Structure 1
């Protein structure tokens, strides 16, 4: 009698079977949310409703981004806390003294505030430092040059973001003019953060990170061109 038995093959966990599609799914969610936000802010006729969704969009983007991070060790937790904390209190200093960036004030669109600064601002600094740092690490350059290029990418995004932010009540500038000091302050602080990113002993291979920056750039540049 022939042996009709087959060797036991354990079932592949659902998580493992879905893993090849994770990046595409995350990109799809990012694209949909930003496309809806784009339409809502410019063409819905009710931009205020979509402005109130900004904190949720930012939180979702970060949840997706950091779900692709690997090796949540003490060095990474420290890095994240330092960037968020320093970034937040730099904004507090800026709001109350005019130092670093110039004279500005936050509106209501970015959610709950502490010391007149939205709590999500620290998370936004972390997202920008992390994504631009990953993006430049794809290029073979000296780490110091990478830090500078990443800082310039952050300032470049801010250039297009600023008019959008003013138009939709993220923040506003005294006199209605965006000062040069804002971009200089961004460049200096961003460069310091990028130096830390380059030298921090953290895992720097997040597949989604470059795409998050690119989606943000397309979103703000597209709105900027239509304002």
Structure 2
């Protein structure tokens, strides 16, 4: 089942890219919330989120993600001036519920990848936070086209600095909590999102 979920993960992302390239973006892009829920299913089953500590941390990270995004949208004090569009799913007070899930998934998966890269806690935190910022950079290039969010004047350096700081805090907590997870699942989830965002950026740049 694990292999099947990984294969289907790639199938839905590749199919979406092909469909968007052929002009069917209005069909594929609104389905993004279902893709996020699929990622959540994979993480819960095969990361896995199978202990009280992991459940508590994952839930707390999702709440932190929602909180920092609420501060960002309603005050501009974090990330800059931006607002969410419709393709990230159901919103409460302008903030999609799934954006908190996205923060938690990214933190957990990049933590596992970073843990395999280095044993030193500080370089691990640096590596994991950097991986999250890299994903954010590519998402910022496609966010408006994909119907996710819009920055006034585009995302600036302040956005990436804030992303790194919040990510570093989450990675510090994960490192101190000694959370362990599946490297294969984490790597596929990270790479498929990175390739999707980078490829979609290329596609929309040629339209």
SS of 1:215 mapped into structure 2: helix
1:196 correspondence with 2:183: no
CA RMSD of aligned residues (A): 1.5
Q: Which residue of structure 1 aligns with residue 140 of structure 2?
A: 162
Q: Which residue of structure 2 aligns with residue 57 of structure 1?
A: 35
Q: Which residue of structure 2 aligns with residue 24 of structure 1?
A: 3
SS of 1:172 mapped into structure 2: strand
Q: How does 1:68-107 map to 2 (within 5 A)?
A: 68-70=46-48, 72-107=50-85
Deviations 1:119-173 (A, max 9, x none): 1000000110011111111123301110111100110111111111111210001
Kept in 1, the 8 Å contact 2:112–2:181? The answer is yes
**Structure 2 unaligned runs (5+)?**
none
My pick for the range that moved more, 30-39 or 104-113, is 30-39
Q: How does 1:1-227 map to 2 (within 5 A)?
A: 22-43=1-22, 45-70=23-48, 72-175=50-153, 177-227=154-204
How far is the alpha carbon of 1:206 from its aligned partner? 4.8
TM value normalised by structure 2:
0.93
SS of 1:101 mapped into structure 2: coil
How far is the alpha carbon of 1:68 from its aligned partner? 0.6
How far is the alpha carbon of 1:181 from its aligned partner? 1.0
My pick for the range that moved more, 119-128 or 162-171, is 162-171
Structure 1 moving runs of 4+ over 6 Å: none
Decide which structure has the larger Cα Rg and report it.
Answer: 1
Kept in 2, the 8 Å contact 1:94–1:103? The answer is yes
How far is the alpha carbon of 1:200 from its aligned partner? 1.3
**Structure 1 unaligned runs (5+)?**
1-21
Distance in 1 between residues matched to 2:61 and 2:104, nearest whole Å = 6
Distance 1:103 1:40, change over 3 A: same
SS of 2:150 mapped into structure 1: strand
Kept in 1, the 8 Å contact 2:44–2:50? The answer is no
Q: How many pairs does the alignment contain?
A: 204
